[in-house]
Amino acid sequence: MNAYIEERRSAASWWCRRIATFAFFLALVAIAAHWLGFLETRAFLNVLALVFGLCLFALLLAVSAFQRVWYRGDRGGADLVVGLLVAALVLAPFSVASYLAATRPALVDISTDTDDPPAMMRLADARPSDANPLIRPGPEAAAIQTDAYPSITGRRYSAAAEPTTGAIEALMEEWGWDVVSGAPAANSVESVIEAVARLPVLAIPYDVAVRVTDEGDDSYVDMRSSARYGSRDLGVNAYLIESFLTELDKRVAALAGVTPLPQ
């Protein structure tokens, strides 16, 4: 009797649960290792691709297992349910990423000034060899950005360049961005603060540069954000620029009652 029960247990549901569970813990370990710096970003993304593939395979096994459990009465319903739930949980972020990839433009580098984006001198030298090349987007990309993100514009503040630069650097530090450059050139009216921003949870790096132009009693701020990896930024660059400049508006406005001037 026991042998008969073992023969009627669904092997597909057994493997479905174990593969989905393995993918879940593999993702957790990879995220932790990437956060702590033990895993390079390219390798981390490859691990995530493996996790995605494992979960898809678990879903295929679930389809096969369902046929046997539902129609033939094989044991393994609990394994099937657990496997499906875990696989769905792991695949949820991938589903969001797929939606963003389908609905956001194919851009990896955007700026408030598409004609003359802030330079990324230090970041260009520090960018890994396996990352996207750091080049100025062409007219076609600029047109796509303008159409998709019309609100991505520079800011003119009725505050001098020095306090504005200080507010920018302080905000970067509060947000946990790694500032790699911030010293203005000698006798220059422009200074560029370069930093590396990391996404919450996944800690995927994005290079950002904020340029401050000294206009005497006023200052003008432009910002650029560039994805190091992937053929699409999934809207992250626009989010980083919009959220940072929105917060900067508040910080500059708090400087002795200063408010942003009309663009």
Tell me the Ramachandran region of residue 130: left when phi exceeds 0, alpha when psi lies from -120 to 50, beta otherwise.
alpha
What is the model's pLDDT at position 255? 76
Using only the alpha carbons of the chain, give its radius of gyration.
25
| Average pLDDT rounded to a whole number, residues 123-145 | 89
What is the model's pLDDT at position 4? 45
Q: Which two tokens stand for residue 93?
A: 């972020």
**How far, in Å, are 114, 119, 230 from residue 209 at the CA level?**
13, 7, 19
For residues 87 and 262, what is the distance between their CA atoms, to the nearest angstrom?
A: 50
Tell me the Ramachandran region of residue 232: left when phi exceeds 0, alpha when psi lies from -120 to 50, beta otherwise.
beta
Task: Decide: 187 and 140 in contact? Cβ < 8 Å.
Answer: no
Strands 155-157 and 178-181: unpaired
Task: Decide: 51 and 27 in contact? Cβ < 8 Å.
Answer: yes
What is the model's pLDDT at position 55? 95
Give tens-digit pLDDT for 228-257.
999 999 999 999 999 999 999 998 988 756
For residues 221 and 211, what is the distance between their CA atoms, to the nearest angstrom?
A: 6
Give tens-digit pLDDT for 73-130.
555 567 778 888 999 999 999 999 999 999 999 999 999 999 999 999 899 888 888 9
Check pLDDT > 50 for residue 3.
no
Give tens-digit pLDDT for 48-78.
999 999 999 999 988 877 666 555 555 556 7
Q: Which two tokens stand for residue 128?
A: 């890994």
What is the model's pLDDT at position 137? 85
What is the model's pLDDT at position 72? 55
pTM above 0.75, yes or no: yes
